[in-house]
Amino acid sequence: MKKGTLFIISAPSGAGKTSLVSEILERVTNIKASISHTTRKCRPGEMDGINYHFVDEPTFAGMVKKNAFLEYAEVFGNHYGTSQEWVQLTLEEGVDVILEIDWQGAEQVRQHFSKSISIFILPPSIQALEDRLNDRGQDNADVIQHRIAAAKEEMSHYADADYLVVNDDFELARYQLEAIIIAQRCHLDIMSAEPILSDLLS
């Protein structure tokens, strides 16, 4: 059985990464998004086990000691981690996996999965990013400015990715992201594991 592909999707806060991934999960078959563990408080509308696995700091620290995470990082004072076991088992089943993680986590994952595909999502401008963060209505002005500063630092790591998607027009960005995933499934390394090739060449 061919293994699934690990897609690493990174973006600064407010670039629209979560909305794009949600669309991909609706439109593309045989792909799942990893649900991260986090010490962040659950926001209104979020559900444990769907948006995140919400855990306290001692539980998270215990999982770190057990090497349960493929990657983990601290972001805005909260910890986030990706279950190593879930990712490996899902890929072994031939299902593609999406990881929504920051550049630090992406760097860690690439060390474990050299054949992973990295995609960086950029906003069309800093002003657009700030407008989106303000429109959310979730943070005060000081927090938003802190997020903007962090976004500038994060965007400086775009060159580590295999693909760039600029989320100016949402439908176009969604199409580009979907096209990257579909194209990867046609890559020779992936297709060589398909039974049809053995039948055709036998």
12 carries a ligand binding annotation: yes
17 carries a ligand binding annotation: yes
8 A C-beta contact, residue 181 and residue 96: yes
16 carries a ligand binding annotation: yes
14 carries a ligand binding annotation: yes
123 carries a ligand binding annotation: no
Phi and psi at 32, nearest 5°, equal -135, 155
| Number of C-beta neighbours around residue 141 at 10 A | 8
* Angstrom distances, CA of residue 41 to CA of 26, 48, 49, 59: 26, 10, 13, 14
15 carries a ligand binding annotation: yes
Tokens linked to 87: 């990712």
Could you give the CA distance from residue 64 to residue 145 in angstroms, rounded to a whole number?
A: 31
Range list of H helices, the chain: 17-27, 57-65, 84-92, 103-112, 126-136, 141-155, 170-185, 188-191, 195-201
DSSP code of 3?
P
11 carries a ligand binding annotation: yes
Residues linked to residue 73 through DSSP beta bridges, in sequence order: 80
Binding-site residue numbers for ATP are 11-18
Binding-site residue numbers are 11-18
